[in-house]
Structure 1
Amino acid sequence: MKPSDRIERFVAAMNIQPTDRVLEIGCGHGVAAGLVCAALTTGSYVALDRSAKMIAAAAKRNAAFVDDGRALFVHAGMEAAELGRARFDKVFAMRVRLFQDEPERARELAERWLAPGGRVFVEYDAPGGAA
């Protein structure tokens, strides 16, 4: 399976609605960001990544969504990120090692940003398919 197929399948499973407020933890190159933002109309997307290089690449790849105010890319790790009062309908992470190594801690960190009724979506498989 191509990486883009895996990402498309994961994003489709979240059933993004046009008004959703979505947070991605560990956005990497921003492939999922484009898929999520394309489904949004009045909703919003925020991405976190601890790598400045990945944030720059993701923001560049999704410049149209940044320009229209639909997407925001934040250079911060999950543990240190400060998002103020922002709350999200859907929080998701793919291949974020903390969810594999310390799942309870990672989930607790992610849940602090959930809006009432919100959901966390996580997938972890090691690159190359081996877990």
Structure 2
Amino acid sequence: MFALRPSNRRRNIWAVSLLDVQPTDRVLEIGFGPGVAIAAFADRATRGQVFGVDHSQAMVRHAARRNAAAIRARRVHLAHASVERLPSFGDPLDAILAVNSVGFWPDPVERLRELRRLLRPAGRIALVSQPRCPGATRDTTVRAAQELQDMLTRAGFTHTRVATLDLDPPVACVLATNPTDVTS
């Protein structure tokens, strides 16, 4: 159902485009759902690695079917895991994406600090929010974006910026960078 909804597909493809993934990048999506963004990452990181974790075994199966060829080629790796118990990804990551999932994380600032340690210096993160509460408006999205920006800043990320996709309600993507100074 989520993969078929045009707004979900559009939101995920848009978020992937904002991360400017390069062919050799190593990327992670947290809460990948049906695997739409995973497939878009695999199309971009043609010589890299795409990792995904989702807490739902059903979503892992669905995303695995959608990305079967890339999994067979060992470019996509999906795991049934939660953000508080991430598997090892080996070398540092270049980019991380989380769409509509941060609100479900226990202690999100601490999770973001952990994710920051997984990123290479100057690595990128994108947190996406499309508020789904009854009566959500542009103002609801603006408030959600500000909350995400504040969390990223508290977790030590820098150069935050917000991009907005004009859907109903609007979608906010808060992008940030892992500082290049490793002592930060």
What amino acid sits opposite 1:93 in the alignment? A
Contact 1:99 1:106 in 2 (8 A): no
Cα-Cα RMSD: 2.2
Contact 2:102-2:108 within 8 A present in 1 as well:
no
Q: Find the residue that maps to 2:114 and give its secondary structure.
A: helix
Cα distance change, pair 105–58 in 1 and its aligned pair in 2 (3 A): same
What is the correspondence of 1:33-52 to structure 2 with a 5 Å cutoff?
33-52=38-57
| Superposition deviation, residue 8 in structure 1 | 1.4
Task: State how far apart, in whole Å, the 2-side matches of 1:34 and 1:82 are.
Answer: 20
Q: Distance in 2 between matches of 1:82 and 1:100?
A: 16
Amino-acid identity (%): 32
Quote the offset at 1:99 in angstroms: 7.0
Q: Deviations over 1:33-76 (max 9, x none)?
A: 11110112211100001111111111111001101111000110
Alignment of 1:1-131 (within 5 A): 2-83=7-88, 85-98=90-103, 102-127=107-132, 130=136, 131=140
How far residue 103 of structure 1 moved from its aligned partner, in angstroms, is 4.0
Note the residue ranges of structure 2 that are not aligned, 5 or more in a row: 1-5, 141-184
User: What count of residue pairs does the alignment treat as equivalent?
Assistant: 131
Q: Is the 8 A contact 1:88 1:113 kept in 2?
A: yes
> Which AA in structure 2 matches 1:104?
V
Offset at 1:7?
1.2
Residue type at the aligned position of 1:71 = V
CA contact (8 A) 2:71 2:77 kept: yes
User: Which is further off, 23-32 or 121-130?
Assistant: 121-130
Q: Equivalents in 1 of 2:29, 2:89: separation in Å?
A: 16
1:98 and 1:106 in contact (8 A); partners too: no
- Larger Cα-atom Rg: 2
Deviation of 1:3 after TM superposition, in Å, equals: 1.4
Where structure 1 has 5 or more consecutive residues not aligned to the other structure, the ranges are none
Q: Structure with the greater relative contact order (CA < 8 A, sep ≥ 6): 1 or 2?
A: 1
Superposition TM-score, scaled by structure 2 size = 0.64
